[in-house]
Structure 1
């Protein structure tokens, strides 16, 4: 028999309705009504309990207790608000409001499976109110329309990210993780292999524009740009003709030689001498600053060694923020350009398969307040990437610090617990699909619970994210165990020293 949990009352609208019940439904429970020949799905947003006998102006505790003893709780009722999700088949919102008195029924497992599990995709967890109903995400829309995974610290974003990676690996997906804390290098995935890529850029693979930025040569410094280009061309020529070369050193040597040539010329041009000396100085300063990523021409082209069907991980924890910024900007620019080449002219360097790039701690590189070199390319991929199979996933524990333009281009969100009002407001401002009702639920989510919304799911839903089955990442340190271990090791060393001294008879 159909489980009727209440009936519509008061004023209803096509988008919402109020209901009253003598049963005890739960917040976030899915329900349906039959209206205008269709099955209309909804979700319970709020619930209040009241009594027909005990009015609001009865303020005496003893009187309330005596009435309850006599009447019991049979006259109590539940009053709630339901948000309409749409027709079960098409998700169209009805054009007319439901009649007063329309039965509100508890959604069946079959209905919920049709709503959340019928599409092809990856499984990330179960419906929060009915965990046996699995939630599937449309991979094409998730990758092409981009994804944000947002949460406060400790809410479960690393687990959610790992679950998604493992599910994509099962489909043969190619994933690139730009790992700020080098956590994923320690992770094992059940459904596929990982590949660690060194956080190094071959100096030969940098463009002249990248050298300009790294050397802080402005567009107005035309003479410096001229000599930088000359040095770059000479180093390129040596690197392709079989001459043994150290690319940046070749550029610096050219600048010094050119400066000497200009110094010894019959007619000195001091402005040109100064310009070429500045180029040498700036190149030397650049290599001092960024030796950690530019110290060798032996490393492979970083994009060409991305392996399809694997999760490719670039650990950035050994780099400072500037070096990480440069590397991420370079890698993402190359990925986008090569995908464009592959899908248009076929000329130049190409990348023959789509890539889903996951950026951990994305608020550092795509900052709301600071201009970074990678910020522009992240925003560009967010706007253009879908045309060329370049997907983007921004993971952040500080959504308010994430660039609003990039955030607004993420058409899919997985939002775990967010308590800080400024984080909530920033996300809502940048996302049209995060309603006020959903926003109010963010602080009450438990660890691993999330609101999932966007084009990758038919309707916004509350999900209990599955527990990652591989080796976990991002867990808090067991401080007590580490303290105890250090103490025991110290005491053991002291005991060894004491025994050694006793044996020597000192």
Structure 2
């Protein structure tokens, strides 16, 4: 089907762009993929903008003069006959002999513009229709947005969107796709750090309950059996050499003391330090002060919980921290979980995994002191080194401007949903490779459930519509009205029960 004809302008056609006159008004949409035949092969281009023009209405002074006389130009001149649409495109590449190359020669004025063929688009965007993750459809063509697992996750991915744009919904769709894979497809384990309990309802879903394990933040325990002074320094300000030496010595003594009688915990460590009369107070007291702060978190016990036994191919482990209000405690948990996962993956004791960090800007914040960013260093370490060990990160954030640039820059794929904050948009424009100004400008107008994918996973910035989830919607997805009615009904029933009891 012919969409239009390439025209000559002051700027082209060139090897990077061309304009064409649209044959029929409703045949072309912004964002659509189109093609033109050249001597190199088939040029694939994306419609960046559509403008409407009219010869008779080009000069504001002429239009103004007629309007002053109370005469409409549309009554005098055949303006409708001279109204036409011009589509401006960006050339993405040339498809020739199963290869995608850069365009080295412009299309000719007068060349016919047609919709890009489905198989060419699939090849150009590196879609994996056979074994990919089905997250939706392309925005302007009825082609499944099936993304190759390796291309999406091996070099890490970031999901960036403002609150309410659908990032948690998209993340759930990704969980479903990962859990639905078979052994032959290649399964990875999934662990999510969930500060708001957004994914816990998956454990009650009939389709996925056997593959989901929820760990409550209040139940988590961290063993210090194998800790060194350096291990503790992840959680508070650095110790002096003398303090580190004293702490390591005490830990080694405890390991010898408890070798046959069992395990020791933070309380035992504090008692041992207090009982050591040989330690000077200027060495002992700062250590005790910092350890007491950790003790108050009630996180450190004699045994690790959870173990990593539930980290299995195709299974989802949800670390639900919604009941914890202390952000520092959440960071300690995040750091411990990430450290254990990465360490065991390096040893080959657990399968390849994807660690999903919700509200990532709170766990790996930019320009925050070490004491306020306890989990930042291990997240950045996995971002830098995880690819070699098939340890993948998925960072989910509504404020990318506050997210560690080190971690974000290592995410080779960005899935961006609606963002309206100017600072975040500017940051996304500077950190997301391949984003043109036109695409950045489109991000603020995306509707809920729409996204643009850029980077390693696709060949070019690609707009998609996220598919409907297979699992049931969680309770927190109800409307404000529904929540208010439910509360009133519960309150009314409670009052009736109380009256009956009295």
Whether TM exceeds 0.5 here: the answer is: yes
Counterpart in the other structure of 2:314: 309
The 1:159–1:491 alpha-carbon spacing in structure 2 relative to 1, beyond 3 Å, is closer
Q: How does 1:51-450 map to 2 (within 5 A)?
A: 51-57=54-60, 58-59=63-64, 60=66, 62-67=71-76, 71=78, 73-88=80-95, 89-116=98-125, 117-118=127-128, 120-130=131-141, 132-171=142-181, 172-187=187-202, 188=205, 190=207, 193-199=211-217, 200-204=220-224, 207-208=227-228, 209-214=230-235, 216-218=237-239, 220=240, 222-239=241-258, 241-259=259-277, 262=278, 272-288=280-296, 290-291=297-298, 293-294=299-300, 296-300=301-305, 302-319=307-324, 320-342=326-348, 351-371=349-369, 372-450=373-451
Greater alpha carbon shift after TM alignment, 401-410 vs 146-155: 401-410
Are the counterparts in 2 of residues 378 and 406 from structure 1 also a CA contact under 8 Å?
yes
Distance between the aligned counterparts of 2:34 and 2:268, measured in 1? 71
CA displacement, residues 331-380 of structure 1 (integer Å, 9 cap, x when unaligned):
222322333333xxxxxxxx342111100000111112323121122122
Distance between the aligned counterparts of 2:155 and 2:475, measured in 1? 26
The 1:489–1:168 alpha-carbon spacing in structure 2 relative to 1, beyond 3 Å, is closer
Are the counterparts in 1 of residues 418 and 447 from structure 2 also a CA contact under 8 Å?
yes
Are the counterparts in 1 of residues 137 and 144 from structure 2 also a CA contact under 8 Å?
yes
Are the counterparts in 2 of residues 158 and 473 from structure 1 also a CA contact under 8 Å?
no
Q: How many residues align?
A: 473
How far the C-alpha of 1:483 sits from its partner, in A, is 2.8
Distance between the aligned counterparts of 2:341 and 2:399, measured in 1? 26
Are the counterparts in 1 of residues 128 and 148 from structure 2 also a CA contact under 8 Å?
no
How far the C-alpha of 1:317 sits from its partner, in A, is 1.8
The 1:473–1:233 alpha-carbon spacing in structure 2 relative to 1, beyond 3 Å, is farther
How far the C-alpha of 1:223 sits from its partner, in A, is 3.0
Could you state the TM-score of these two structures normalised by the residue count of structure 2? 0.87
Are the counterparts in 1 of residues 135 and 174 from structure 2 also a CA contact under 8 Å?
yes
CA displacement, residues 2-43 of structure 1 (integer Å, 9 cap, x when unaligned):
424222322222111122234222111110000114011111
What is the CA RMSD across the aligned residues, in angstroms?
2.5
Are the counterparts in 2 of residues 16 and 81 from structure 1 also a CA contact under 8 Å?
yes
Give 5+ residue unaligned stretches, structure 1: 263-270, 343-350, 502-506
Are the counterparts in 2 of residues 302 and 331 from structure 1 also a CA contact under 8 Å?
no
Distance between the aligned counterparts of 2:236 and 2:366, measured in 1? 25
SS of 1:73's equivalent? helix
Distance between the aligned counterparts of 2:148 and 2:475, measured in 1? 26
How far the C-alpha of 1:476 sits from its partner, in A, is 4.4
Are the counterparts in 1 of residues 20 and 87 from structure 2 also a CA contact under 8 Å?
yes
Counterpart in the other structure of 2:8: 9
CA displacement, residues 74-109 of structure 1 (integer Å, 9 cap, x when unaligned):
322111210111123433121122222222112234
Could you state the TM-score of these two structures normalised by the residue count of structure 1? 0.86
Distance between the aligned counterparts of 1:276 and 1:106, measured in 2? 74
Are the counterparts in 2 of residues 238 and 245 from structure 1 also a CA contact under 8 Å?
no
Counterpart in the other structure of 1:268: none
The 1:214–1:496 alpha-carbon spacing in structure 2 relative to 1, beyond 3 Å, is closer
Greater alpha carbon shift after TM alignment, 492-501 vs 398-407: 492-501
Distance between the aligned counterparts of 2:475 and 2:368, measured in 1? 26
The 1:173–1:8 alpha-carbon spacing in structure 2 relative to 1, beyond 3 Å, is farther
SS of 1:438's equivalent? helix
The 1:114–1:475 alpha-carbon spacing in structure 2 relative to 1, beyond 3 Å, is farther
How far the C-alpha of 1:194 sits from its partner, in A, is 0.9
Distance between the aligned counterparts of 1:363 and 1:215, measured in 2? 20
Give 5+ residue unaligned stretches, structure 2: 182-186
How far the C-alpha of 1:111 sits from its partner, in A, is 3.4
Distance between the aligned counterparts of 1:193 and 1:44, measured in 2? 43
Distance between the aligned counterparts of 1:134 and 1:444, measured in 2? 22
Are the counterparts in 1 of residues 310 and 317 from structure 2 also a CA contact under 8 Å?
no
Distance between the aligned counterparts of 1:126 and 1:392, measured in 2? 24
Are the counterparts in 2 of residues 34 and 40 from structure 1 also a CA contact under 8 Å?
yes
The 1:428–1:497 alpha-carbon spacing in structure 2 relative to 1, beyond 3 Å, is closer
How far the C-alpha of 1:255 sits from its partner, in A, is 1.5
Counterpart in the other structure of 2:184: none
